[in-house]
A and B are shown apart, each in its own frame.
Chain A
Amino acid sequence: SAVISQKPSRDICQRGTSLTIQCQVDSQVTMMFWYRQQPGQSLTLIATANQGSEATYESGFVIDKFPISRPNLTFSTLTVSNMSPEDSSIYLCSVSGTATYEQYFGPGTRLTVT
């Protein structure tokens, strides 16, 4: 399994600002995913980050609000733009390879918007 790190681990931000979350993997992976876990709820997929192409967003999530970069096979960023208190969540990245559908998760970034 891959070792995944995320930065920052937590942050408190003011509404209207943006936060960029970094996800670093210790090996090259094909697929990287970004999820949101709102308080007391399950995980919801935001988008799939594809290296060398635009991210694929799920219904209800748009690029202007959650721009994603995937510059190489070990790194991705998710930006939460123009934040509101409703964006307070844990944001997680996960990875999987082409030969397996298993996903491995990072520790998450706990975001609080005031």
Chain B
Amino acid sequence: AQSVSQHNHHVILSEAASLELGCNYSYGGTVNLFWYVQYPGQHLQLLLKYFSGDPLVKGIKGFEAEFIKSKFSFNLRKPSVQWSDTAEYFCAVISFSGGYNKLIFGAGTRLAVHP
């Protein structure tokens, strides 16, 4: 079965630092990949997605992610973080099973950005 690994559970950065959060999924073939963000006290929001095409995906709020098929990876990046990026970030992949699709989430990465 498809699974997702997020290697960084807690990340602490200063404002203006660059961010890269790791995400690996378990097997190849056609994959649909997502990053979701959960700001404190708010619900999950879709940050960006990859279905096909250009492996470098741009999302909201200056985030981007790169799909590297050979590495089974979909890392999230932002060149300069802000205090408002403090949140929990979840990588997710679609698993096709039993005739329907379901989202498999990674464990999440808590990002704290200090002013």
Contact = CB atoms under 8 A, between A and B. Distances in A.
B108 A42 contact: yes
Counting contact residues on chain A (CB < 8 A from B), the size range is: 20 to 34
- The dominant DSSP class at the B interface is strand
A92 B102 contact: no
Interface in B42-65: 42-46, 49, 51
Contact of B46 (A48, A58, A102): A102
B44 A92 contact: yes
B100 A48 contact: yes
Interface residues of B, number: 22
A56 B98 contact: yes
A57 B111 CA distance: 32
Contacts of B106: 42
Interface in B75-115: 90, 94, 98, 100-108
A103 to B, nearest CB: 6
